[in-house]
Structure formats: structure tokens, C-alpha cells
Amino acid sequence: MIAFVAAVVVGCGPSRAGEAVLCEIAHNLAVAAALTERAAEEDAAGDKRGAQELASDARSRAEQSHDQLQAIASDEIRHGATWQALLEAYVHLGQAANALLPGFEGTYGMTGDQLALGYPPLKTAAAALPATCTTVDTSPTGSG
């Protein structure tokens, strides 16, 4: 699944303001997904602290995306397939990150499941946006 988000971000270039916001949200969710995947790998390798730092960043990006989605006032955008898909992606990607954080013990097994559920709506949203909106630099020095 990481191949879905494994390119370098060039920047979003949609012409409409609503599309620009949706692009930013999609990008943050794509970064959150990539960070959560890295966090799960760190956790599996025994680096709990590193995993929790990555998962915390992923959760923050997912929460920021949710806040941005909720701030959109346009009924046309909110009822559109892209907005709806991004909201669904947020739910699953946020839960995937949460499962790696303290206080959510016993739910680690759902990280992979939640990532798998989060990618289809993210892919649906990506189909309606410029490709750069969901591309992420996943190198260790990449900033998303």
C-alpha cells in the first residue's frame, strides 16, 4: 500500500479554492498513512518510542484534516464524493495511528486493518484531485 503514496510532493495545483483545501487535506491524510505504516514497522522492530512518535504525528495530521473538513462551509463540497471519501479515510487512518499509542493497548492488531480500510476512500478522493495531492516523500529525510 505504501507504493500508493511513495513519490515526492511537488505541490497541489487545483484552480478552485475548495479543491485546494481538499488537496491539502488529502495530502495530510496520505502523509498520516505513510507515517502510520512506518510507525507499525518501528513497533514491530521493537522501537516503541519511535513508533509512538510517528503515530502521534500521524494522528495529529489526521486530526488537522478532520478539523479542515469540518471547517468547510460549502454544502456542495460537503455533500460531494471527495469530501465524503476524505472523511471516511480520516476515520480509518486516525484509528490506525491511535492503535499504536499509549491508552489504546490491545488494539495494535487493528492498525493494519484500519490502514487497509483507509486506503480505498483515500484513493477515491485522489481520483478527483491532482495526483500531487496524495503523493508523499517517504524517505527518512522527507518532510511529507
Instruction: Look at residue 143 and tell me if it is in a domain.
Output: no
Strand partners of residue 6: 136
- Exposed, middle or buried, 86 (CB in 10 Å: 0-12/13-18/19+)? buried
The predicted structure's pLDDT at residue 142: 52
140 located within any domain: no
User: pLDDT tens per residue, the chain (144 residues)?
Assistant: 443 433 323 344 333 778 899 999 999 999 999 999 999 999 999 999 999 999 999 999 999 999 999 999 999 999 999 999 999 999 999 999 999 999 886 665 699 999 999 999 999 999 999 999 999 886 655 545
Question: Would you call 56 exposed, middle or buried from its count of C-beta atoms within 10 A (0-12, 13-18, 19+)?
Answer: middle
Q: Is this prediction's pTM over 0.85? A: no
> Which residue range forms the structural domain that includes residue 68?
2-134
Answer yes or no: is 65 within a domain: yes
What's the rounded Cα separation, in Å, for the pair 28 and 90?
Answer: 10
Residue 139 falls within a domain, yes or no? no
Q: How many domains does the chain have?
A: 1
Whether 73 is covered by a domain: the verdict is yes
Note whether residue 22 is domain-resident: yes
